[in-house]
Amino acid sequence: ILYLYILYIYTQYNKCIYCICIYNSSMRMSSATQTTLDPDEMKRFQSLASKWWNEQGEFAALHAMNDLRVPFIRDNLLNLSGGRKLGCPLSGFKILDVGCGGGLLSEPLGRLGASVVGIDPLEESIQTAELHKSFEPVLSKQVQYRACLLEDIAEESRQVFDAVVASEVVEHVNDLETFIKCCLDVLKPGGSLFITTINKTNLSYVLGIVVAERVLKIVPNGTHDWEKFINPVDLERLLESNGFCVESIHGMLYNPVSGSWSWTKSTSLNYAVHAVKQKEQPQSDF
């Protein structure tokens, strides 16, 4: 059991390291235009930028997660639109992939016909994404990458996207409500927000903080801040108080032996959320 725990923590660490540099000390702000990145975190993970497409390397768990998250995004978008298109089922959909890294999720969405904009603050990761995209010319028109933050997009592209994807990102956001508001700003009315993240439970604390960082020391101390984890109930409440309607929440389970993900009824560790921007935003009393 301990061996499985160690493998689980190792994969959780590799899933989140690229996200830490994005939002670890960012979004401490009163408006979406004030953002501070931690330069130490940026430098710390720049060396990983060239390793995105090693399916057996540091990001193996993220590669495997595509087996769940790509169909999750595709099927929910098609169910909302009420249409099915052979060959390129997501043709006509414009998707923003926040924290895209090397494009692990952007590319398969592009292959399904979506017009994808992947954003990441690390220029090195964007260069890796661009290089890998060049090996598949059909993606040149479907996928575009930018080295920037979500709030940069929110300033210039309001109500542009049909969907926003934030996979393994929100647990590293200091101001989650501002992050959600930025997602709302860039989405069209009726647009979808897809989130995958880690629950805030005793189990996630034991595995992610105590065992990994303090006992086994296989993860640098301070990698996870358990206070930033959020449980599904609180995330749903936050989403619905900021103009979203939560459509579904599903538990996710990683098997470190087989290296595969599966859906589960339990949300005690990982979970996925699909929320939809309300077409008529609630009016403020002030």
Give the residue ranges of the annotated binding site for S-adenosyl-L-methionine. 69, 99, 120, 167
Q: How many CB atoms lie within 10 A of CB 123?
A: 12
CA atoms within 13 A on the CB side of 147: 13
Binding residue positions: 69, 99, 120, 167-168, 171-172
Q: How many CB atoms lie within 10 A of CB 192?
A: 23
End-to-end C-alpha distance for the chain, whole angstroms: 54
Under 8 Å between Cβ of 275 and 193: yes
Largest CA distance in the chain: 55
Binding residue positions for Mg(2+): 168, 171-172
Under 8 Å between Cβ of 136 and 112: no
